[in-house]
Chains A and B, each alone.
Chain A
């Protein structure tokens, strides 16, 4: 737990082994989780299909809260996969943290700002693209200078701050959660048995809280995604 990551350079880009491994692991879990839930699709759902449909209904309701049915159907899948991915990524670090030789190998990939900002970047790009698609290039650009041209710098700063806050919010929550988890863990092994007994309930409580935070943050991220998109589609 903790420690630095393995990195390597390729074509002038730095790659982080920890992020790649945990990201790959999360994506495999997500895929096989959803793949397993969607076997034996029936008109009368049972078992996994019910769970899958419950998740779909949940994310659909998030999307539908922000936009009309026609527009929502375009983004419902993106909201769904984003929610499932972020939720599992947030929880992974609570269950599984693998380190080797003083270096992390597997943790929550959402505890890394680069990863969360990547998703934030994807979301903001999608929202701008949606603005152009639904309102046309002219309508999209006129949104930037509304209500008047003086607001242009403010609007531009808002776009940047949206990008940063969306990514850093989830990173901060998950990173802090894991950091504290690690600190409590270190405390547990600092002075032998007495500290383990003291630290165990604290660790359990904090883990439970982190599960809650992870779920909330995934929900908040998806909700803000739909808000940003709907603001580009419908205007402020």
Chain B
């Protein structure tokens, strides 16, 4: 190594040294600092772009779903009204049917009762007729059996009248 008195001369070696060392430093910085950071910046830019796209799509999707829900809600409201109307109509029908049935039943029962009463009256009348006939026959048989004198006859008539009175009362 020598010390030169004048430094203001061309040191071409420095040029070579700087070119080579700068190149080495550039490669190292590229590999260790520039590439990872710019890759991440690019990735971030992509991610942001994607997120924006996704957000737009999601908003569109949500709007579509909301419209669909609204539509369905409107449909279900109409359906509910229809169901209530149907139920009301069915109820009314049922009510009038039950009332009609009740009316019919009542009429039938009434008629039946009338018929039964008539029957009972007929039966009772018939019974009474039979009783009178039997009595007449009894009386006749008793009259015939006994050779009746006036007193006996009188007694018989009295007892018969008595019996009638008893029978009536």
Stretch at the interface among A37-45, A132-140, A203-211, A226-234: A37-45
The CA-CA distance from A56 to B41 in the complex, in Å, is 10
Q: B1-51: which residues lie under 8 A (CB-CB) from chain A?
A: 1-7, 9-19, 21-22, 24-26, 28-30, 32-34, 36-38, 40-41, 43-44, 47
Q: Which residues of B contact A117 (CB under 8 A)?
A: 15
Q: How many residues of A contact B (CB 8 A)?
A: 46
Q: Which residues of A contact B38 (CB under 8 A)?
A: 56, 77
Q: Is the CB of A115 within 8 A of B3?
A: no
Q: Which residues of B contact A80 (CB under 8 A)?
A: 34
The CA-CA distance from A15 to B21 in the complex, in Å, is 14
Q: Which residues of B contact A81 (CB under 8 A)?
A: 25-26, 29-30, 34
Q: Is the CB of A20 within 8 A of B33?
A: no
Q: Which residues of B contact A10 (CB under 8 A)?
A: 13
Q: Is the CB of B22 within 8 A of A27?
A: yes
Q: Shortest Cβ distance from A105 into chain B, in angstroms?
A: 12
Q: Which residues of A contact B5 (CB under 8 A)?
A: 4
Q: Is the CB of A31 within 8 A of B28?
A: yes
Q: How many residues of B contact A (CB 8 A)?
A: 37
A23 and B21 in contact, given A14-B9, A41-B37 (Cβ under 8 angstroms): yes
Interface check A165, CB cutoff 8 A? no
Interface check A157, CB cutoff 8 A? no
Interface check A13, CB cutoff 8 A? yes
The CA-CA distance from A90 to B23 in the complex, in Å, is 19
Interface check A159, CB cutoff 8 A? no
Q: Which residues of A contact B43 (CB under 8 A)?
A: 43
Q: Is the CB of B11 within 8 A of A103?
A: no
* Closest residue of A by beta carbon distance from B21: A27
Q: Is the CB of B28 within 8 A of A38?
A: no
The CA-CA distance from A118 to B2 in the complex, in Å, is 24
Binding site for B on A (CB under 8 A): 4-10, 13-20, 23-24, 27, 30-31, 34-35, 37-38, 41-43, 45, 49, 52-53, 56, 77, 80-81, 85, 103, 109, 112, 114-115, 117-119, 121-122
Binding site for A on B (CB under 8 A): 1-7, 9-19, 21-22, 24-26, 28-30, 32-34, 36-38, 40-41, 43-44, 47
Given contacts A6-B1, A13-B16, A27-B22, 15 further A-B contacts (CB under 8 A): A4-B6, A13-B11, A14-B9, A14-B12, A15-B17, A23-B17, A27-B24, A49-B37, A52-B37, A53-B37, A81-B26, A81-B29, A81-B34, A115-B14, A118-B14
**Interchain residue pairs A-B with the least CB separation, the first 10:** A15-B13, A13-B13, A34-B33, A38-B33, A16-B11, A14-B11, A27-B25, A5-B7, A4-B7, A19-B14
